[in-house]
């Protein structure tokens, strides 16, 4: 009900903005204005757009994209954009309606649209939806980058050569990143390859890099973990003597602390192995403030804690 009302307000604001004929920044500096949702998408746009694109991200560090509702300011930015990029696969579930409206008269691209659905995992939360957390498998994010490259070339063909060169360099960096993840995760013995986190963001990471992943909440953070969920997870940790569990930047800490307390009640001690960046990157300028930095931080944190380093 509340969401419906908000959506209505947003649509009205959109219509107002459209009638107002707001001017885009691109008119003044000759750049394309690209607005994107999560930081990881904005990161791709910055890397491939380079000097030709003003990349504006809506969701900052610590923001939960599952719950994020576009503000009036966001709607203005979206309305003024030359192109909009978002993750898709129902990640930005509260923005679907706004994005759909906008797609009627501008280029709105879910960057996951080129992925081979046969390789995607099912969402445990929504029927007929895929797990949206595809950035945790680096080759998927390379596909996403290609989608951004091709879209920019389409709307700004004069700068095709630059977009191609930028994309080539970025894709090469992601090749190295993928190799790093494979190399580091290979150090963890099979029996220790269990990743316990607050919500099911790491299924692709687990599936492709060989970890069992247990999340306390479902794939979306919309559902609160129940006491039963906490107890079941605690029992599993004690039974399997799992040394470390992890908190996430975009999910309240108390969920995973409740698990730790339930484990301690059974006389076993589980470490909180550190903070993982699941659905949002770290602060701008920090080591996890880029997509690549975020992936490296997560891998280092997971591997380090599970190996007790
Ligand atoms: Zn998530």
As a whole number of angstroms, the distance between CA 8 and CA 13 comes to 9
Asked if residue 23 has pLDDT above 50, the reply is no
> What does the block give as tokens for 48?
């491939």
Higher per-residue pLDDT: 226 or 82: 82
Check whether 14 has a pLDDT greater than 60: no
d(CA 101, ligand 1 centre) in Å: 24
The alpha carbon of 199 and the centre of ligand 1 are apart by a number of angstroms equal to 7
Alpha carbon of 44 to ligand 1 centroid (Å):
19
Crossing angle for the helix pair 160-185 and 291-306, nearest 10 degrees?
0
- pLDDT of the residue at 41: 98
CA of 204 to the centre of ligand 1 (A): 12
Res 64 pLDDT > 80: yes
| 126: in domain | no
Ligand 1 centroid to Cα of residue 65, in Å, is: 7
CATH of the domain at 292: 3.40.50.1980
For residue 20, pLDDT over 80 is answered with no
Spacing, Cα 268 to ligand 1 middle (Å): 29
What does pLDDT average to over the chain?
89
Please report which confidence band the pLDDT of residue 220 belongs to, taking 50, 70 and 90 as the band edges. Answer: low
Question: What is the Å distance from ligand 1's center to 279 Cα?
Answer: 5
Q: Give the Å distance between the CA of 241 and the centre of ligand 1.
A: 26
d(CA 188, CA 221): 28
Q: How far is the CA of 67 from the centre of ligand 1 (A)?
A: 10
The alpha carbon of 250 and the centre of ligand 1 are apart by a number of angstroms equal to: 8
What pLDDT, on the 0 to 100 scale, is given for residue 255? 81
Q: Flag whether 288 is in a domain.
A: yes
Burial class (CB within 10 angstroms; exposed 0-12, middle 13-18, buried 19+) of 231: middle
Residue 266's pLDDT is what?
96
CA–CA separation, 147 vs 150, rounded Å?
A: 5
Closest CA to 251 of 308, 198, 306, 176: 198
3-state secondary structure the chain: CHHHHHHHHHHHHHHHHHHHCCCCCHHHHCCEEEEECCHHHHHHHHHHHHHHEEEEECCCCCCCCCCCCCCHHHHHHHHHCCEEEECCCCCCHHHHHHHHHHCCCCEEEECCCCCCHHHCCECCCCCCCECCCHHHCHHHHHHHHHHHHHHHHHHCHHHHHHHHHHHHHHHHHHHHHHHHHHHHHCCCCHHHCEEEEEECCCHHHHHHHCCEEEEEECCCCCCCCCHHHHHHHHHHHHHHCCCEEEEECCCCCHHHHHHHHHHHHCCCCCEEEEEECCCCCCCCCCCCCCHHHHHHHHHHHHHHHHCCC
User: In the beta sheet, which residues pair with residue 217?
Assistant: 199
**In which residue are the tokens 């559902």 written?**
223
* pLDDT greater than 60 at residue 18: no
297 CA to middle of ligand 1, Å?
17
Is residue 261, in this structure, part of any structural domain at all?
yes
CA of 91 to the centre of ligand 1 (A): 7
**Does 301 fall in a domain?**
yes
Angle between helices 291-306 and 39-49 (to 10 degrees): 130
In a domain, 195, yes or no: yes
**Residue 100 CB: number of other CB atoms within 10 A?**
10
- Mean local confidence (pLDDT), 182-202: 92
Ligand 1 centre to CA of 28 (Å) is: 37
What's the total number of domains in the chain?
Answer: 1
Ligand 1 geometric centre to CA of 64 (Å) = 7
pLDDT > 90 in the chain, percent: 74
Residue 219 falls inside a structural domain = yes
For the chain, report the end-to-end CA distance as a whole number of angstroms: 49
Residue 136, domain member (yes or no): no
Work out the average pLDDT over 9-20. 51
Chain center to CA of 281: 8
> What pLDDT is stored for residue 222 in this prediction?
66
Q: Which domain holds residue 231?
A: 185-306
Greater pLDDT, 221 or 41: 41
Q: 43 vs 28, 130, 140, 145, CA distance in Å?
A: 23, 23, 15, 10
Residue 266 placed within a domain: yes
> What's the pLDDT tens digit per position in 124-138?
778 889 999 999 999
Rounded distance between C-alpha atoms, residue 82 and residue 202, angstroms: 33
């Amino acid at each position: 009900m509340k969401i419906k009302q908000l959506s209505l307000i947003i649509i009205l604001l959109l219509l107002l903005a459209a009638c107002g004929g707001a001017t885009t920044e691109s008119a003044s500096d000759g750049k394309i204005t690209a607005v994107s949702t999560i930081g990881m998408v904005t990161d791709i746009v910055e890397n491939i757009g380079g000097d030709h694109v003003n990349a504006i991200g809506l969701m900052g560090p610590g923001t939960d994209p599952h719950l994020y509702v576009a503000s009036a300011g966001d709607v203005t930015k979206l309305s003024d954009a030359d192109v909009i990029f978002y993750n898709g696969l129902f990640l930005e579930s509260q923005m679907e309606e706004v994005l759909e409206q906008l797609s009627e008269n501008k280029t709105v691209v879910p960057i996951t649209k080129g992925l081979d659905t046969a390789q995607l995992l099912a969402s445990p939360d929504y029927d007929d939806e895929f797990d949206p957390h595809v950035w945790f498998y680096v080759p998927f994010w390379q596909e996403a980058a290609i989608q951004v490259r091709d879209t920019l070339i389409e709307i700004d063909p004069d700068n095709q050569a630059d977009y191609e060169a930028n994309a080539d360099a970025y894709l090469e960096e992601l090749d190295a990143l993928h190799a790093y993840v494979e190399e580091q995760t290979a150090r963890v013995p099979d029996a220790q390859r269990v990743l316990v986190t607050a919500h099911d963001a790491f299924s692709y990471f687990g599936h492709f890099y060989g970890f069992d992943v247990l999340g306390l909440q479902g794939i979306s953070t919309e559902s609160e973990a129940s006491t039963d969920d906490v107890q079941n997870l605690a029992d599993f940790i004690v039974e399997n003597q799992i040394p470390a569990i992890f908190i996430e930047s975009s999910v309240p800490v108390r969920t995973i602390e409740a698990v730790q307390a339930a484990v301690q009640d059974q006389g076993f001690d589980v470490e909180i192995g550190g903070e993982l960046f699941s659905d949002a990157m770290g602060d701008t300028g920090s080591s996890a403030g880029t997509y690549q930095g975020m992936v490296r931080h997560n891998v280092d944190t997971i591997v380090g804690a599970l190996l007790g380093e």
